[in-house]
Structure 1
Amino acid sequence: MNRNELSPDASPRAAFGARLRSLRDAHSWTLDDLSARIEYSASHISGVENAKREPTIKFAERADRAFGLTGTRETLASDVFRIRGGSLLEGFSEYVTCEARAAEVRLFETGVIPGLLQTEEYANALAQSAVQRGIITPEQARERVAVVADRQNVLRRTPPPLVMAVLDESCVRRPIGTDAQWDAQLARLLEFAEQPGTVLQLAPFTMGVRRTFDLPLYVLTMPDRSIVAYAESATRGHLQRDGRVVAAILGTYYQLQAEALPQAASAATINALRKGTP
């Protein structure tokens, strides 16, 4: 069968497509063979290989599993994040690759709703604000929103991970988007809290110095029970794998949970905000 000649140097997307075909050829798989393994149509795979379709994180992760790349440093998912790298913090792509496989996710966020819990409208409002400030381009804004959507696939995984979220009160006191969009975002938090295997807590301003973290933090428990932590500054992210360091971070996270509002009180606070009650 005649095949289009690929030009991997034409663009990052073309390079991804060429690597995908190379991996497929190495396994002596046809498009239909790979289609059966990753549950994407042969025409979709062909479109990715020929750089006519943009690869998504979900697509790349399924291909990684099929090719035996999951857990290595040369995943196709990492390639997708490098393609989108201009809109992401350094170190973030490695974290998200781990997040997609995590058995448990513990997070603390301040100032903004965490990406795993954002509505599309909220994510888009944040991205467009960054465009208006000249921080990113419109294309990078679209990439940021796409990354949020891709990350949330982990919540629909079978089985889904256990997710525990502690949000600083500033997250729910800072309206983003229109009134309707902000109300939908608060409703999304309440929906999350009602799902099995989730915990949502607010860290109120009254905690003062008892709030144990000042920057966003994520702690992942992987399927093999190893633990990694991810923290961000204004310019980059860092994935910490040292067991002793992560154990200390996890202990501090438990202290934060103990001091934060219980889920019922947190939900009541969010409901009051939706009703316009201080």
Structure 2
Amino acid sequence: MPQPPKLLTPSNSPLDLFGSEVRRYRVLANYSIKQLAAKIPYSPSFIGVVERAESHCERAFAEHCDAVLDTKEALSHLHDGLFGNKRDAFPEWFRKWPGVEEEADTLQVYEPTVVYGLLQKEEYASALLFGDHEAIDARLARQAILTRTDPKPPRLVYVLPEVVLWYDVGGADVMRAQLQYLAEVSTPRLSVQVIPNGQPHPGNQGAFVLATLSDGSEIALAETAARGIMMEAREDISRLKDRFAAICTQALPVSMSGDLINRTIEEKWTP
């Protein structure tokens, strides 16, 4: 039997609202996704991800849907109001994740190549984002969840391999400031733990984040070379939880991690 359509909450995000309206007009016109795809230059799979609020779409998609579904330009008008002509500061696959971060009670993070975005200093982020001010501002804005008071900040457990401390991002001054921040940022609700170089661990398959929300539900974001993938399936979550636990067994405690970070500053990034 086909799976029922994903339930959307239009108030959750612009993507949810737009996707729910595309679905509503399609159903009102008595079209299946395949029937709509046969009338417009977009595949059934693309229509599906738009309706499920898993991807942004260009305005032309709304225009084609308006013409076929006889909406009197309602979707184009909605697209203009929600998205305008601005380029989104986040890539399409990442657009829903900041909302997950805001709702999370706990974030468990493994990032094997660079410092995790929620803990990046502005200069470090600027070097990674090639000075794109819109993208930099959006990344830094996400960090507000770590200093909020109501609701309390999420519990953040961040694990990284030692080699991240060695990669030159922006030069010695930028690296020194970034690593000093990592060495000092730990609190009862935020921990930074380093895996010493050479310790075997199952973290070579890429970065991932596990989010536990206030209602107990769990969502993961796993990054590939091409894009990130949000996961909610119990089997996927279970595998990532097991991997994170195995990675953590090789990480130093917080205080020893801070000592290692400070030694790296002195040995590699201090003239």
TM-score (ref. length: structure 1): 0.64
CA contact (8 A) 1:228 1:241 kept: yes
| Deviation (angstroms), 1:277 | 6.3
In the alignment, which of 176, 179, 183 is matched to residue 186 of structure 1?
179
CA contact (8 A) 2:166 2:268 kept: no
* CA deviations over 1:55-87 (Å, ceiling 9, x no partner): xxxxxxxxxxxxx92479239xx957x9443x5
In the alignment, which of 12, 16, 30 is matched to residue 73 of structure 1?
16
1:197 aligns with 2:225: no
| Residue identity matched to 1:222 | L
- Off by >6 Å, runs of 4+ in structure 1: none
Distance (whole Å) between structure 2 residues aligned to residue 248 and residue 169 of structure 1: 24
Distance 1:177 1:205, change over 3 A: same
In the alignment, which of 146, 153, 156 is matched to residue 160 of structure 1?
153
Distance (whole Å) between structure 2 residues aligned to residue 248 and residue 178 of structure 1: 37
1:255 aligns with 2:197: no
Counterpart in the other structure of 2:138? 147
CA contact (8 A) 1:212 1:252 kept: yes
* CA deviations over 1:197-243 (Å, ceiling 9, x no partner): 112111222123x2334211000000101111101112211100112
CA contact (8 A) 2:90 2:138 kept: no
| Residue identity matched to 1:198 | L
| Residue identity matched to 1:74 | L
* Number of equivalences: 196
Q: Let me know the Cα RMSD of the aligned residues.
A: 2.7
CA contact (8 A) 2:202 2:243 kept: no
Counterpart in the other structure of 1:116? 118
| Deviation (angstroms), 1:274 | 1.4
> 1:110 aligns to what SS in structure 2?
coil
CA contact (8 A) 1:227 1:241 kept: yes
> 2:103 aligns to what SS in structure 1?
coil
Identity rate of aligned residues, in percent?
27
Matches for 1:16-35 after TM superposition, within 5 Å: none
1:206 aligns with 2:208: no
Distance (whole Å) between structure 2 residues aligned to residue 272 and residue 181 of structure 1: 16
| Deviation (angstroms), 1:89 | 3.4
| Deviation (angstroms), 1:172 | 0.7
Could you tell me which runs of 5 or more consecutive residues in structure 1 were left unpaired when the two chains were aligned.
1-67, 129-137
In the alignment, which of 208, 212, 226 is matched to residue 221 of structure 1?
212
Distance (whole Å) between structure 1 residues aligned to residue 252 and residue 167 of structure 2: 19
Higher helix content, 1 or 2: 1
Distance 1:262 1:170, change over 3 A: same
Distance (whole Å) between structure 2 residues aligned to residue 123 and residue 218 of structure 1: 19
Q: Which has the larger radius of gyration?
A: 2
| Residue identity matched to 2:103 | R
Distance 1:74 1:150, change over 3 A: farther
Distance 1:152 1:173, change over 3 A: same
